Structures are given as C-alpha cells and as structure tokens.
Amino acid sequence: MRVCAYCKSPGPLTREEIFPKFLSEKVGYTTFVDQTRDGAVFGPVTVRDVCSQCNGVRLSELDNYVASLYRDYFSKPVDAPVDILFQYNYHLLTRWLLKAFYNSARARRGNGPSRDLFEKNVPYILGERDDPCIPTLVSVGVTTSSVASETEKALGMPSVFHPFVHKFGDLGFCGSRVADAVVLSQFLSINSFSFIFVGFSDVIEAPDRAEITKGLNEVWLSKVAVKRA
C-alpha cells in the first residue's frame, strides 16, 4: 500500500509540485527540462505521494515562507554592484530547500542523490527535529543583470537581461578530499538568487568540515557580494 512520503500515513494522497505553483506562475510558464531524460521537455513536474495534511498544512508553511522571501527579495532584479541585506530564517529556508530536493529526487529517473539521505531528514523538514540529520552548509549567491551587446540590441533584444528562471540540479566537486567528505550536494536558483546545499558525512570531523567549508565559500563568495544578516 502506498503511503505518504513524509509522515508514512496511508493518505488520501495528493499531488505535490516540485516547484510550488507560486514560483512557476511568477515566471509565466511551466516548462521543465530534465537532463536525466536526455533533455526531455515537459510540463509541471509533480509527485502524487503526499497526504493532504502534509501537503496542505505542514509543508505549505514552508512554501508560504519562501513566498514571502520571493516578494521581498527574489522578485526584484539585482544590478551590480550588489548591495543586499538578505535576512532570512535559516531553518525555514533549509527545510524548504530539502523539501524541494526530496520532491525532485522522487520524481526523477536515472542517477541522482540517494533518497535515503532525504528520508532521514524528513523529521527536520516537518519541523519535528531541530537540525538536519547531517552537518550542512547553505551558501547564498546572486547573479546580477547583464547589459546587452550592440549586436544583441541591433537584433531588437532588451538592453538589459535580468535572470528570470528557476532551476535546480546536482553538484559535483573535484578533488577526492571534498568528494569523500560530501554526501549530498544540490543547487537551486530562483531568478537572481542561487542556493548551494552541501551535506557532509557525519564521520568527517568538525575542523575538517570547517576547512572544506572555508574553501568552498572562498570559491563561491568570490563571485558574489551579499551582505549577511
């Protein structure tokens, strides 16, 4: 018998969107490209394995929170130089990111992160646990608007291009030391804002995690200029 992917109740089961409706509606289209299916293009991606209580109450709290971040931050084009004070609730945002990645993992085919890692984090996603089940790093980046070239302008294109797409995917790291330490690495972007989620093996000692985190942040943050709250 099929059960809810979150609370394991028998249902009734409802349809859950990989990207919430408020995000797909904001960009004005719901086309998805799945690189795990040879670049197949199709409509909104959903999974039908979430009970109405989790979908409509427990998980909607997270969607509502990210919807508020969309209104305050994600909906606005970002121009250089970047000067943003991004204030957010770390756990609400991280729980939402894990929810989105878990939904994607259940919907996809082919290679991808192990669903076991997401399932272990379900109590955290639902707010029943204070912290993720593995040490984690969440980094925030910004892609600024770019000015069109003279050739592009001559072709009638806009004079300024603003990032206007939502996407997510897997991340890979070069170097055996980092690859061995990282058990889960995901990427998600909403217009100009991008989020990297990295989960470390729990056998990696804190000093080693801190050193790897410093190195990753130096690479990531060297490309952005975000003021942290």
Interval 7-31: pLDDT, tens: 999 879 998 888 777 776 665 555 5
- pLDDT of 159-197, one tens digit each? 888 877 777 778 777 666 777 788 888 988 888 898 989
65: its two tokens: 């929170």
**What integer pLDDT is reported at residue 66 of this predicted model?**
94
Rounded CA gap, 229 and 226, in Å? 9
Question: How far apart are the C-alpha atoms of 51 and 49, rounded to whole Å?
Answer: 7
Mean pLDDT for the chain overall: 82
Smallest CA-to-CA distance from 106 within 97, 98, 115 is with 115
Q: Which residue has the tokens 């890979």?
A: 172
| pTM reported for the whole predicted model | 0.84
Average of per-residue pLDDT across 99-121: 82
Cα 179–Cα 92–Cα 15 angle in degrees, nearest 5: 90
Which pLDDT belongs to residue 224? 43
Q: What is the pLDDT of residue 42?
A: 55
Q: CB neighbours (10 Å) of residue 130?
A: 8
Lowest mean pLDDT among 37-41, 48-52, 208-212: 37-41
- Whether the per-residue pLDDT at 125 is higher than 90: the answer is yes
